[in-house]
Chains A and B, each alone.
Chain A
Amino acid sequence: MFEFFFGHPRSLYSKGEIVLLGGWPWWVWLLLALAGAAGLGFLIHRRMRDAASGLHGWRPYVIWALQSSMLAGVLLLLWQPSILVSTLKPQQNVVAVIVDDSQSMMLKDAPGDATRLDALKQSLGGDVLNRLGDRFQLRVYKAGNRAERIKSLDALTGQAPATRIGDVLEQVNAELAGLPLGAVLLLTDGADNSGGIDFDTVAEMRARRVPVHTVGFGKEVSGRDIEVVDVQVPARVLADSRANAAISIAQHGLSGRVVKLSIRESGKVLAQKQVTLKADGQVQTENVLFNAGDVGAKSIQVTIDKVDGEENVRNNETSRLVNVENTKPKVLYFDGEPRWEFKFVRRAMEDDKSVKLITMLRTTQNKIYRQGIENPSDLESGFPAKVEELFGFQGLMLGSVEAGYFTTAQQELLKNFVDRRGGGLLLMAGRSSLSEGGWNRSSMAEMLPVVLPDRKGTFQRDPATPGLTAPGVDSLLTRLIENPAQNMERWKKLPYLADFQDIGTPKPGATVLAEMNAGGRAGMPLLVTHNYGRGRVAILATSGTWRWQMSQPLEDKTHEQFWQQMLRWLVTDTPGRVQAATPRQMLFDESKIRLTADVRDKTYLPAPDARVYATLIGPAGSGGQIELQPDPATPGTYGADYTIEKPGSYVAEILAKRGDEEIGRDVITFERKDGVAESFRTNQNRDLLTRLATQTGGQYWSPADLKKLPDEISISEAGVTVRETRDLWNIPAVFLALLGLRAAEWLLRRKWGVV
């Protein structure tokens, strides 16, 4: 339609420059138009006296405006308005045609139950490719992970395991760097598996002024489909720990349906959850807890049961790796006086084989009773005063102890334990705790998640009834029952706490997981957490959870569960001296992985002078050893790229040394899976294709419009071009506009009775 009225395609107007080819300057036209308008105004004014009665008020001005516009328009045609545009010189330019050959192109959602690839061949293979070939030198590629040049469309099989549009564009651009590349035609469903197209690739195309024309295939919205969009699980957990899987799902056509989410390991169901699907296209995230089990690398499968009529069930399942670590982190619990909470926390941890609890109790002014130590000399001198001694623990709990009990150096050490070492710290209420113990006026106040009250009398031995906040309902720390609503109710029914403390106001960024009604006040913070530096700090505003043990049935394990979760929270994310990482543990049809390691010395300061090696073991046995190189921008950080040759699970042991001295080691697991990626995000990603075309000066095309492309693709500033002018005076829109002005005047005159 646009082309009918305006004589040229829309892209010509968007890329071309409007010029006046007439010999006279443009201001002459402007003067003449103004003079004509003035003359018309004068004539109309003179004749107003004799005019019919219908022409009064604002009406003469309308007539004047229409006639003036008509005159200006006719005059403009004398200046020969044209459009100036760069076009590709015939036979002197290369056009790259990139055809998606991935498995998602085999989905049968094209008209007539044809595959996307069939539709593509039909659209491109007939006249279009020949017409393009007549004008340009064609380079046709099939695309998957890489681009591969083909001679004809018959070479397309739809079997490539993934689509990486960015990589393919980058490759084609590089291959054709020495040739006059005039345009790129990309035919795909846009279901990119690399998470998008990076800015550098787009910038490079723009720099060469190469327009990328995109043609989208496949439905933009599925019929009925559920997809596991993403699953976030902790890369490492302690043995027999509960871990949280944050599962993001999206669906179309099944809103309101209840489906079952399952987490399995080697076929064994670890956890299940009934989920009500939200609105179409909305990504919803469900948290599911599961027990990580024994030590070892576990491949966790997340599945949604198939729903009747679902078109694509391959995207209902995905997997992640969880490394269940063979470590036993240590927590030091120091209390300033004998308290029941101390005893019952110790008892709660006796059944937990994953965390070792070492306790120190000030029984008298000068005596400290130590439990859980390995040697009689351990902690003999009291609370650790040396960095190596304190940093040997992963978690720290402080009971009823004054801030002043610690020396200035120990206070600094405590802060560094959290900030630099990345440890977890729990402060518990008590008659010498927090504000009662002067913590509010100590240098340690800055690491706390609350602003403590600046007064005494905050600790009271009176009942407090606990309850969860909204963040607490889903927290791994406070989850007593899997079902969030039931968990909330469970907390409400817990026996009252033996005492409570006013811990003041949570700081910005802190999370209140539980609150309490106590001392006539409702909603007082009970359990508050936040991150400080590399570590974590929590405050529990009571020392009276022991009543949960004594006042509930013998079989009830709430108290044990709460404290086991609490101590695991303290230590789970505490890093060792060598901390290995990868951006992703599951690689779907990818072969490159970046291994990084954060290496610290004994005091947990970055160690920039280490030698770091990764020893890899893959499905075929040893995968060799590579050295990680230091990152000059981040001291203590080392990295290396590794190419995964074959699909399967891999274990990388990262070893850091300084001379002959071993600094530490860490193990990380990752897995390459092929043939999976193309089952996900299978809808046509029109948004991505439109953006790519727009940002490079190209255009998004639907398959039906593809026949026009050979004509329009020649409008380009890349390659070998020629400047062309196209007339505008003879386009139908001009004629219709002038005719419209006259017709409007005539109709108005008719209406006003002044014809």
Chain B
Amino acid sequence: MGGPGKILVAILVLAIGGTMWAQRRSLRELADEEDNPAPWPADAAEKTEFVFARLRYMARRNGYFGRGGGAWSTDYPKADRQFVQGARRLTRLHVRSVEQVISLDDNEIFDYPWIYATEVGRWDFTPEQAAKMREYLLKGGFVMTDDFHGTFEWSVFADGLRKVFPDRSIVDIDNKDAIFHVLYDLDERFQVPGIQLFYTGQVWENDGYEARWRGVYDDNGRIMIGICHNMDLGDAWEWADLPQYPERYASLAYRVGVNYIIYSMTH
């Protein structure tokens, strides 16, 4: 290959590489903040109806930073990518194979009407972020929270939520609510443990002995925030491929996740 040929190849490599890099950047793959890396799927750039949007929020002490610091990225991105594979198989939902990390600092959030937020026992909001979250929810957005345990984390979560909705109550979701029946009938729900099950043998963390299925409703009786307290559905998605992780927990976690998504797309 002569000089001009090499230059052409170099240009092509740069162009293709640049495009791929830009694509990965646009999908917000935040390698530095990954908690549990997962392979980048070949169809990651596919444009789909539904995208698993993970909220990158500001933790009370550590701000945004993950991997032991920021709470938002717990189980990220393996839990997300493994869960959406299940959602693809189990439903007719057109789901992207990779997640989208979004924050309350810009308006991108309004293009993702379903959001997953984990470790919310550490979340916090500035007044502007709280206002944006409130607007998002009242317009029709849905937030699923997960992986926070016990009394202390609940109080931190509730503090954050009060900034969003000072006057709105958090209530236990009735067993008959559509969110537990929209696709799967989830009358029999139980506490889904995190990976700490292997180390401690306990299904609970802190003093969160009992799974609580709670929510915040809007004025028309629709759940805006699905609160999964004292459980770790994210870990169940993340470790569903681990033979030692009990299938019954992973199965329930998938069904809950799918139901919450379908609920948010029908109510």
Please give the residue numbers on chain A whose beta carbons come within 8 Å of chain B beta carbons, in ascending order: 336-340, 342-344, 346-347, 350, 359, 361-365, 367, 369, 371, 431, 460-462, 498, 546-547, 549-551, 554
* Complex-state Cα separation, A336 to B93, whole angstroms: 10
* Complex-state Cα separation, A542 to B93, whole angstroms: 18
Interfacial chain A residues near B135, Cβ < 8 Å: 554
A344 to chain B, nearest CB (A): 6
* Given A338-B50, A342-B266, A369-B266, CB of A554 within 8 Å of CB of B92: no
Residue of B nearest to A364 (CB): B91
* Given A363-B91, A462-B47, CB of A343 within 8 Å of CB of B113: yes
Q: Is the CB of A367 within 8 A of B113?
A: no
* Complex-state Cα separation, A460 to B46, whole angstroms: 11
Surface stretch bound by A, among B27-35, B52-60, B77-85, B138-146: B138-146
Q: Can you report 20 A-B residue pairs in the complex whose CB atoms are below 8 A from each other?
A: A336-B92, A337-B94, A343-B113, A343-B265, A343-B267, A350-B220, A361-B266, A363-B182, A364-B91, A364-B92, A364-B183, A371-B266, A460-B47, A462-B47, A498-B111, A547-B111, A549-B139, A549-B140, A550-B139, A551-B110
Query: Contact string, B140-175, partner A, CB cutoff 8 A, digits 1/0?
Result: 110000000000000000000000000000000000
Interfacial chain B residues near A362, Cβ < 8 Å: 92
Interfacial chain B residues near A340, Cβ < 8 Å: 49, 113, 265
* Complex-state Cα separation, A359 to B267, whole angstroms: 11
Q: Is the CB of B113 within 8 A of A546?
A: yes
Cβ < 8 Å to A, chain B residues 120-137: 135-136
Q: Which of B47, B107, B138, B141 has the most CB of A within 10 A?
A: B47
Interfacial chain B residues near A554, Cβ < 8 Å: 135, 138-139
Q: Which of B92, B136, B261 has the most CB of A within 10 A?
A: B92
Residue of A nearest to B110 (CB): A550
Q: Is the CB of A343 within 8 A of B111?
A: no
Interfacial chain B residues near A498, Cβ < 8 Å: 111
Interfacial chain A residues near B92, Cβ < 8 Å: 336-338, 362-365
Q: Is the CB of B93 within 8 A of A461?
A: no
The 6 closest A-B pairs by CB, nearest first: A461-B47, A337-B92, A550-B110, A338-B265, A338-B93, A343-B265
Known pairs A364-B183, A462-B47. 20 more at Cβ < 8 A? A339-B49, A340-B113, A342-B266, A343-B140, A343-B265, A359-B266, A363-B92, A364-B90, A364-B91, A369-B183, A371-B266, A431-B49, A431-B94, A461-B48, A546-B140, A550-B110, A550-B113, A550-B136, A551-B107, A554-B135
Q: Is the CB of A337 within 8 A of B47?
A: no
* Complex-state Cα separation, A342 to B266, whole angstroms: 7
Q: Is the CB of B182 within 8 A of A369?
A: yes
* Given A338-B49, A363-B182, A551-B107, CB of A343 within 8 Å of CB of B264: yes
B175 to chain A, nearest CB (A): 17
Interfacial chain A residues near B107, Cβ < 8 Å: 551
Residue B195 interfacial (CB < 8 Å): no
Q: Is the CB of A343 within 8 A of B266?
A: yes
Residue B262 interfacial (CB < 8 Å): yes
Cβ 8 A contact of A550, one of B93, B111, B220, B267: B111
B253 to chain A, nearest CB (A): 18
Count of A-B residue pairs with CB < 8 Å = 79
Q: Is the CB of B262 within 8 A of A338?
A: yes
B154 to chain A, nearest CB (A): 29
B134 to chain A, nearest CB (A): 9
* Complex-state Cα separation, A547 to B91, whole angstroms: 24
* Complex-state Cα separation, A337 to B261, whole angstroms: 13
Q: Which of B48, B264, B266 has the most CB of A within 10 A?
A: B266
* Complex-state Cα separation, A340 to B53, whole angstroms: 14
Residue of A nearest to B259 (CB): A363
* Complex-state Cα separation, A498 to B135, whole angstroms: 20
* Complex-state Cα separation, A352 to B183, whole angstroms: 27
Residue of A nearest to B136 (CB): A550
Query: Contact string, B85-111, partner A, CB cutoff 8 A, digits 1/0?
Result: 000001111100000000000010011
B146 to chain A, nearest CB (A): 21
B163 to chain A, nearest CB (A): 17
* Complex-state Cα separation, A365 to B49, whole angstroms: 17
- The SS class assigned to the B binding surface is loop
Interfacial chain B residues near A344, Cβ < 8 Å: 140
A401 to chain B, nearest CB (A): 10
* Given A343-B264, A367-B183, A369-B266, CB of A338 within 8 Å of CB of B91: yes
Residue of A nearest to B135 (CB): A554
Q: Which of A338, A461, A547 has the most CB of B within 10 A?
A: A338
A274 to chain B, nearest CB (A): 35
A510 to chain B, nearest CB (A): 28
Interfacial chain B residues near A364, Cβ < 8 Å: 90-92, 183
Interfacial chain A residues near B264, Cβ < 8 Å: 343
Residue of A nearest to B49 (CB): A339
Cβ 8 A contact of A346, one of B94, B139, B183, B266: B266
Q: Which of B91, B107, B138, B265 has the most CB of A within 10 A?
A: B265
Residue of A nearest to B92 (CB): A337
* Complex-state Cα separation, A524 to B194, whole angstroms: 51
Q: Which of A369, A547, A550 has the most CB of B within 10 A?
A: A550
A461 to chain B, nearest CB (A): 4
Cβ < 8 Å to A, chain B residues 170-199: 182-183
Cβ < 8 Å to A, chain B residues 235-267: 261-262, 264-267
Interfacial chain B residues near A339, Cβ < 8 Å: 49, 265
A702 to chain B, nearest CB (A): 72
Interfacial chain B residues near A343, Cβ < 8 Å: 113, 140, 264-267
* Complex-state Cα separation, A656 to B255, whole angstroms: 53
* Complex-state Cα separation, A747 to B130, whole angstroms: 108
Interfacial chain B residues near A347, Cβ < 8 Å: 140
Residue of A nearest to B142 (CB): A343
* Given A342-B265, A554-B135, CB of A363 within 8 Å of CB of B183: yes
Interfacial chain B residues near A461, Cβ < 8 Å: 47-49
* Complex-state Cα separation, A752 to B47, whole angstroms: 99
Residue of A nearest to B114 (CB): A340
Residue of B nearest to A344 (CB): B140
* Complex-state Cα separation, A498 to B51, whole angstroms: 13
* Complex-state Cα separation, A343 to B182, whole angstroms: 13
* Complex-state Cα separation, A319 to B6, whole angstroms: 83
* Complex-state Cα separation, A145 to B140, whole angstroms: 63
* Complex-state Cα separation, A498 to B110, whole angstroms: 12
* Complex-state Cα separation, A336 to B92, whole angstroms: 8
* Complex-state Cα separation, A367 to B182, whole angstroms: 10
* Complex-state Cα separation, A359 to B265, whole angstroms: 12
Residue of A nearest to B112 (CB): A550
Interfacial chain B residues near A363, Cβ < 8 Å: 91-93, 182-183, 262
* Complex-state Cα separation, A342 to B262, whole angstroms: 11
* Complex-state Cα separation, A361 to B265, whole angstroms: 10
* Complex-state Cα separation, A359 to B262, whole angstroms: 14
* Complex-state Cα separation, A369 to B220, whole angstroms: 20
* Complex-state Cα separation, A350 to B220, whole angstroms: 9
Interfacial chain B residues near A462, Cβ < 8 Å: 47
A315 to chain B, nearest CB (A): 50
B44 to chain A, nearest CB (A): 15
Interfacial chain B residues near A546, Cβ < 8 Å: 113, 140
* Complex-state Cα separation, A431 to B94, whole angstroms: 9
Interfacial chain A residues near B49, Cβ < 8 Å: 337-340, 431, 461
B138 to chain A, nearest CB (A): 6
* Complex-state Cα separation, A248 to B261, whole angstroms: 53
Residue of B nearest to A365 (CB): B92
Interfacial chain A residues near B93, Cβ < 8 Å: 337-338, 363
Interfacial chain A residues near B141, Cβ < 8 Å: 550
Q: Which of A339, A342, A346, A551 has the most CB of B within 10 A?
A: A339
Interfacial chain A residues near B139, Cβ < 8 Å: 549-550, 554
* Complex-state Cα separation, A350 to B267, whole angstroms: 10
Interfacial chain A residues near B261, Cβ < 8 Å: 338
Q: Which of A337, A359, A365, A431 has the most CB of B within 10 A?
A: A337
Interfacial chain B residues near A346, Cβ < 8 Å: 266-267
Interfacial chain A residues near B140, Cβ < 8 Å: 343-344, 347, 546, 549-550
